[in-house]
């Protein structure tokens, strides 16, 4: 099928997004990113604009075994609502019990299931983007989560498939919806692409046509600006957009998207002084969430993203990447020219991209898509995330 791309439109192009009982006026979702979307970063993004903000991935097995690291990662602000958690698992029994625990302990209001991760340590155990190929196992896992979650909504995030020879998103979406998932999100790349190349938005359009109209379809992949969000909606008919790498060092993207989807003029891009203030706010929130030592160390990885494209000397960049305290950060930020305008070449891709490669799978994984067996050792190891 050839998808006709319509031109992007200004103005409110979408109604509010509904995830089960929850209404989100701005149809924008923060994608879970390991080591990034902790409570501090989510609060920073919420301060910038409206949307739906999902925490870092939590493993079902880690939750069931009451792993201390897992429970430390389940952190939400008092005013964070709905509390959205992404859950990962390969064993239906663990997934069911984890969902039940989320309800029993009131840990979250919404569960998003991860079937999109392309990382080899995940796919080699049959998890992430590898799992939808095993359609019977996939169905059992989604159904287990839905049944365990009771009246709390469950959504599914996936990729197009393993590679160009093994596309799974259309059938997997049908299975997920039939099993009780209330929304489906698609990262429009295969696992073999990882984060390289361009996302194939036409796959999102095909998914929107294949899924019943009352079930929201969310598009993910290459949303680096508000115009990208408008374009994706216009070209695919999706009900909302999922933002991942595009907000790294640029949390104000959520404010831009909120303005775009409500028909307002976009805010002026921030100058270097405003970017520095946002970076400092990020550091403060991380310190509040993680403690001073861990928080200030964690903000170091964000520095290059915030300063992308700005004419900042290598010595100062290096020092900021080794900052030791909020006071030290203040001293270094004072050396920046606050009036430096936002650079045009700061737009576009950011974060990890890499190159395509073969997907690492369990032995004989592709032999029988109807084999419901849980891969040996697949759900044993857990890191809490």
Please give the Cα distance from 236 to 1 (Å, whole number): 13
Q: For residue 66, what are the β-bridge partners? A: none
In angstroms, the CA 287 to CA 281 distance is 10
Task: Identify which of 376, 360, 362 has the alpha carbon closest to the alpha carbon of residue 117.
Answer: 360
Q: Are 232 and 7 in contact (CB under 8 A)?
A: no
- Tell me, rounded to whole angstroms, the distance of Cα 208 from its chain centroid: 19
CA 196: distance to chain centroid?
16
CA 286 – CA 280 distance, rounded (Å): 10
For residue 34, is it left (φ>0), alpha (ψ between -120 and 50) or beta?
beta
Catalytic site residue from 45, 55, 117, 247: 117
CB 69 within 8 Å of CB 114: no
Q: Rounded to an integer, what distance in angstroms lies between the CA atom of residue 72 and that of residue 55?
A: 12
- Would you call 238 a catalytic residue per the annotation? no
Residue 8's region, left for phi above 0, alpha for psi from -120 to 50, else beta, is beta
What whole-number distance in Å separates Cα of residue 64 and Cα of residue 62? 6
Torsion angle, alpha carbons of 242, 53, 146, 124, to 10: 60
Contact (CB, 8 A) for 266 and 238: no
Binning the chain into helix, strand and coil, the percentages to the nearest 5 are 40, 15, 45
Q: How many CB atoms lie within 10 A of CB 111?
A: 27
Q: Which residues pair with 187 in a beta bridge?
A: 159, 220
Active-site residue set:
117
């Amino acid at each position: 099928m050839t998808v006709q791309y319509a031109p992007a439109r200004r103005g409110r192009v979408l109604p509010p997004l509904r995830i089960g009982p929850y209404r989100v006026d701005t149809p924008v979702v923060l994608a879970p990113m390991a080591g990034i979307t902790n409570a501090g970063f989510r609060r920073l993004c919420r301060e910038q604009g409206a949307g739906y903000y999902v925490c870092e991935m939590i493993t079902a097995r880690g939750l069931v075994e009451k792993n201390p690291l897992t429970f430390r990662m389940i952190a939400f602000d008092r005013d964070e609502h709905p509390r959205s958690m992404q859950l990962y698992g390969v064993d239906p029994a663990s997934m069911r019990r984890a969902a039940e625990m989320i309800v029993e302990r009131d840990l979250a209001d919404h569960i998003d299931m991860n079937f999109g991760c392309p990382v080899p340590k995940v796919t080699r155990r049959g998890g992430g983007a590898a799992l939808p190929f095993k359609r019977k196992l996939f169905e059992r896992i989604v159904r287990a989560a839905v049944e365990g979650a009771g009246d709390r909504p469950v959504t599914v995030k996936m990729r197009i498939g393993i590679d160009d020879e093994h596309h799974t998103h259309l059938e997997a979406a049908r299975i997920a919806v039939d099993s009780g998932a209330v929304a489906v999100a698609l990262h429009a790349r295969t696992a073999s692409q990882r984060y390289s190349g361009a996302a194939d938005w036409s796959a999102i359009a095909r998914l929107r046509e294949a899924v019943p109209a009352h079930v929201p379809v969310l598009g993910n992949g290459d949303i680096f600006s508000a115009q990208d969000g408008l374009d994706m909606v216009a070209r695919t008919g999706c009900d909302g957009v999922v933002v991942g790498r595009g907000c790294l060092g640029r949390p104000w993207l959520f404010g831009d998207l909120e303005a775009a989807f409500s028909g307002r003029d976009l805010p002026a891009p921030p100058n270097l002084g405003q970017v520095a203030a946002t970076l400092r706010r990020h550091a403060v929130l991380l310190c509040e969430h993680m403690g001073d030592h861990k928080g200030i160390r964690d903000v170091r990885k964000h520095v290059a993203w915030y300063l992308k494209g700005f004419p900042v000397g290598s010595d100062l960049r290096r020092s900021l990447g080794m900052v030791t305290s909020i006071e030290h950060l203040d001293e270094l930020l004072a050396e920046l020219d606050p009036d430096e305008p936002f650079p045009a070449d700061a737009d576009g891709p950011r974060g990890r991209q890499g190159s395509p490669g073969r997907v690492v799978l369990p032995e004989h994984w592709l032999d029988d898509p109807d084999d419901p067996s849980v891969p040996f050792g697949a759900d044993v190891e857990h890191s809490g995330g």
